Structure 1
Amino acid sequence: MAYSAIADSVGRQPITVVEIDLDYCAESYGVSPCTASAATGGECYNTRRSCQDLANWNGSTQTYRFIDQSSAVPPGVDALPCITGKITRTPMKIEPGKGLGLRGSVKVKLRDFTIHDRAADPYHATRTAEAQGTYFGRLIARNPFYVGRTLRLRTGYIASPWDWANFVTRTYVIEDISGPGSDGMVTITGKTVLKALDDDRVRIPSPSNGELSASLNTTATTFTLTPSGIGSEYDSSGAVRIGGEIITYTTLTGDVISGATRAQWGSEVKDHDAADQVQQCKVYSSVNVVNIAYGILVTDGPLSASQVPFNDNPGSPDEWDDEKANWLSTYNLTAIISEPTGANKLLAELSEQCGFNLWEDEVNNLVKLKANVPDLANAAVTDLNEDAHIIEKSIKLQDNQKSRISRVLFYYDKIDHTSGDDIENFRALYVAIDANSETDDEYGSERARIIKSRWMDSTNSAEAVATSGRLINRFAVPQKIARFRVDAKDALEPGQLVNLLCKFLQDTSGASVSKQFQVTQISERDTGHSFEIDALGSAYAGLYRFVGPDTLNDYDVESDANKQSYAFIALDTGLMSDGASAYQIV
């Protein structure tokens, strides 16, 4: 029986299983190619720390599985009942309009215990004495290299026969294992996959180790790197930064850079001394923002291609391909990153300036990308109401005044890419203002979002306008925050659009109305039974639609379905012929 089916059943019995994958050697001790040859009883434990022949280490993984100490171990399931207390899970949170959201995490507390070593030691039979100490004490001593390894949190239901299809699995990377201590407790902390992109872990470009072998005057176009052989770390052509000067070059031969053009990307030509660092730059030349984000995550980052649903192929589109084609196809950026910069910082800049959100899908182990745009007529929206879906007395509504934006100041076309973000260092500024919302008749104050972009140059004025306009159209009016609970059978996903109908959402006459929200955070309130949902109003000012094909009829005689799918030209009055509001073109 699938998870969704058993979640809708009476008498369901929830259970939580925690799994960690640690490094394990696939070879057998002393058997070719392993050349280790200790005396009987002195074998390794097939872990990296205990390996006696690292040259022939053959890395794989071994899974260790734990369940609650009060749970009976299900038949056929290899798990240790040592989880104590509630598992603390901080769910990830989407922050529309702000770029990267908050990352999720999990903390699992387990009780250490004494146990034989027969299951954990592949050579137990040849040991001359029984293992000492405790289970987790031995496990950590044998596996100190646990950071970044996989942790899975499986929540589901007991069924006979046992079936992993009854579980929802959330994937994390291990950040820390603390303990055991005098209290006998061990705590495992896991973070979602974007933790691997923290600014202290992935920097773009990578720090360069080369230096000038001799001083460089302001007219030189050839120079040599030191130490000998360091040229292998540099691109065959590209750009480097020395001090406050960016230099492009056409040729790298061994350690010699030639064909140099000085003082590029707005920098100033300068003299440089021997032993000055020569930093390789990362250059993007009219590259689409979706491709840049993919490159940061996968090409330059630690994620695998399977974690990012992007084929870069219109003939075989995945989720990211659709967002690129529908909303971000014109965001082609030319920029230079002239010093090592944290991957998360770059992603945060791109997502804010180009108008999309990135977040982690813990269940499917994917990174999601969604443009901050109005929904289309065919967008998938889930209807929720108090009678059938929302748990009684769980709804809370609040106007999110902090989300209001009345104007956007978008600075772009940076002058000197070695200098900071002072407004004097930008050639262009686009200002979008919702003047009405700033008047005393409405909100009576200015709320400005200031964006300073190193990514957009003079060719991206349309994109600066689009990003600014979308922010104003969504956030000129404070969006409502909704918090409510649903049963496991009605579980939602982060980023999902919902139409919420409840007696607390009313029009000016007091009648209940349905309003659209975007799910931003999901917390498991009662494991296996209910979830608490945070959602942010996602309504845009106006009806947005794509320009339709030439085969459409005039608005007056066109079908209602096509009126909902495509944009039509309004009258000079700003209204449609039937009095409806004019369309906004995407």
Structure 2
Amino acid sequence: VHKPTAVNKLLGELVRDGTFYIWWNEREQLIDFKAVRPEQSSVAITGDAHIVAGSLAQAREPDERISRIFIYYNPENPTKSDDPDNYRSMRGRIEPDFEMEAGGADVRSKTIYSRWITTDAQAYELCQRLLSRFRTTPRYLTATLADGALRIGEVADLTTRLDVDTEGQPVTRRWQVIKAQQVKPGEVTEYLLQQFIYQATRYLVWMDDDAPDFGSATDDEKLNGFWWADEDGLMPDGSEGYL
């Protein structure tokens, strides 16, 4: 960092390039930290049972969509940070299916000049995660719930009649809380949620060497571990394999 730079700018770069979140936890008086990763558990929320009537609203942000991304990293001269010729390495990725008519028929490109990324693996991971989240138009929800029902950074599986399938049946989607504002302290809080990058599925979690076999593992161990699937991609009990 070769000149005085605002702390929020540096933190914004670090959060983006390091694929993590930070936020102020006013209840604990701490800055919370969480990696961008799948969640093994979530809070179940339904529109009828938990959300204050009339408070649920959904929005889409097409300007945030990304269909291709290019990351320049390993700068030679830190004083020329936004000059492509100044970087030793570049990693790019394009999602062609999301640039066709069915995907929006619109090329949305994003270029990042990173002073923090140093390896190809880090650049590849950032490409993959940003495109996974933003290749489709990002969706946001605002909803008012009982105070403390959710926490910033927490993931919720929300079922509501505002979001239905082609048959008109409510769809359950996974969302992450990115903002919380008390409306009436101790009573209700307004939340802003973004559709979560990792939907409900069976993500693997590395286990200890003495972990049990799949057949003798408990439900909690199966949720927070992993075993190899059979050749057909299924587990011995016929359930889907881990990702």
- One fold, TM greater than 0.5? yes
1:477 and 1:451, CA in 2 relative to 1: closer, same or farther beyond 3 A? same
Partner of residue 233 from structure 2, selected from 557, 567, 576: 576
TM-score of the superposition, structure 1-length normalised?
Answer: 0.37
Distance 1:440 1:580, change over 3 A: farther
CA–CA distance in structure 2, aligned partners of residues 454 and 500 of structure 1: 38
Do residues 420 (structure 1) and 81 (structure 2) align? yes
Q: 1:511 aligns with which of 169, 173, 176?
A: 169
1:324-335 map, 5 Å? none
Alignment of 1:342-381 (within 5 A): 342-375=6-39, 377=40, 379=41, 381=42
- Specify which structure has the bigger relative contact order, considering alpha-carbon pairs within 8 angstroms and separated by 6 or more residues: 2
Cα pair 1:505 1:512 within 8 Å, conserved = yes
Letter in 2 for 1:465: Y
Question: Secondary structure in 2 aligned to 1:340?
Answer: coil
Determine the C-alpha separation between the residues in 2 that align with 1:424 and 1:580: 50
Partner residue of 1:566 out of 218, 223, 226: 226
| Cα distance between partner residues in 1 of 2:37 and 2:12 | 18
> Secondary structure of 1:544's match?
coil
TM-score for both structures, normalised by structure 2: 0.82
Structure 2 distance, partners of 1:461, 1:552, is: 36
- Structure 2 residue aligned with 1:448, among 93, 109, 118? 109
Write out the 4+ residue segments of structure 1 that deviate beyond 4 Å after TM superposition: 547-554, 557-560, 578-583
1:365-393 CA-partner distances (Å, limit 9, x unpaired): 21122222221x2x4x2222233321122
Q: How does 1:279-294 map to 2 (within 5 A)?
A: none
For the Cα contact (< 8 Å) 2:81–2:113, is it kept in 1? no
Which residue does 2:139 correspond to in 1? 480
Counterpart mapping for 1:138-537 below 5 A: 337-375=1-39, 377=40, 379=41, 381-457=42-118, 460-488=119-147, 490-537=148-195
Identical-residue share of aligned pairs (%): 26
Unmatched 5+ stretches in structure 2:
none
Larger radius of gyration: 1
Please give the secondary structure, in 2, of the residue aligned with 1:473.
helix
1:318-374 deviation digits (Å, cap 9, x = unpaired): xxxxxxxxxxxxxxxxxxx33333332222211111111222122322112222222
Q: Which runs of 5+ in 1 are unaligned?
A: 1-336
**Alpha-carbon distance in 1 for matches of 2:66, 2:212:** 36
Query: Residue 546 of structure 1 contacts residue 567 of structure 1 at CA under 8 Å; is this kept in 2?
Result: no
Kindly provide the amino acid, as one letter, of the partner of residue 374 in structure 1.
P
Contact 1:547-1:568 at 8 Å conserved across structures: no
| Residue identity matched to 1:392 | A
- Alpha-carbon separation, structure 1, partners of 2:111 and 2:216: 42
On the 8 A contact 1:500/1:517 being kept in 2, the answer is: yes
The amino acid of 1:341's aligned partner reads T
- State the shift of 1:563 in Å: 5.0
The separation in 2 between residues aligned to 1:438 and 1:485, in whole angstroms, is 36
Matches of 2:228 and 2:66, distance apart in 1:
28
SS at match of 1:341: coil
Change (3 A) 1:544 1:406: farther
Helix, strand or coil at the partner of 1:441: helix
**Aligned equivalents of 1:581, 1:553: Cα separation in 2:** 16
Letter in 2 for 1:397: Q
Q: 1:369 to 1:455 in 2, by over 3 A?
A: same
- Structure 1 pair 361–484 and aligned structure 2 pair: CA distance change class (3 A): same
The answer to whether structure 1 residue 544 and structure 2 residue 187 are counterparts is no
What count of residue pairs does the alignment treat as equivalent?
237
8 Å contact 2:234–2:241 — kept in the other structure?
Answer: no
Distance 1:567 1:352 in 2: 32
Backbone CA RMSD of aligned residues: 2.9
